[in-house]
């Protein structure tokens, strides 16, 4: 079994993102969380897809999004 076989993907709804800069800011903050292997932010859809080695705490993701200046409103 590889790390990719056990990876977890979660999609979050984030408000306030309007452009590529917003996507990059959110992506960088979430990428800094332990175990995160991939982050894809989509400002137009208002969603962030996060792939991690293990499930992340919603509070940790919310704090990272807050640090970037945006608001996590829930899971998609």
pTM: 0.91
Pair of tokens at residue 22 = 């917003």
pLDDT of residue 19: 98
Nearest to 30 by CA among 1, 70, 76, 3: 70
Enumerate domains of the chain plus CATH numbers: 17-75 (3.30.70.100)
DSSP, collapsed to helix, strand or coil, labels residue 61 as: helix
| Environment class of 51 (CB within 10 Å of its CB; exposed 0-12, middle 13-18, buried 19+) | middle
User: Rounded to whole angstroms, what are the CA distances from 48 to 1, 2, 64, 72, 73?
Assistant: 26, 24, 12, 9, 11
pLDDT of residue 1: 47
pLDDT tens digit at each of 76 positions of the chain: 454 567 999 999 999 999 999 999 999 999 999 999 999 999 999 999 999 999 999 999 999 999 999 999 999 8
The whole-angstrom separation of Cα 5 and Cα 17 is: 31
């Amino acid at each position: 079994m590889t790390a990719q076989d056990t990876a977890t993907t979660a999609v979050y709804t984030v408000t306030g993102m309007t452009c590529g800069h917003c996507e990059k800011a959110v992506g960088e903050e979430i990428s800094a969380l332990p175990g995160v292997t991939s982050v894809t932010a989509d400002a137009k859809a208002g969603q962030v897809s996060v792939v991690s080695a293990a499930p992340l705490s919603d509070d940790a993701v919310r704090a990272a999004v807050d640090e970037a200046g945006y608001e996590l409103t829930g899971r998609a």
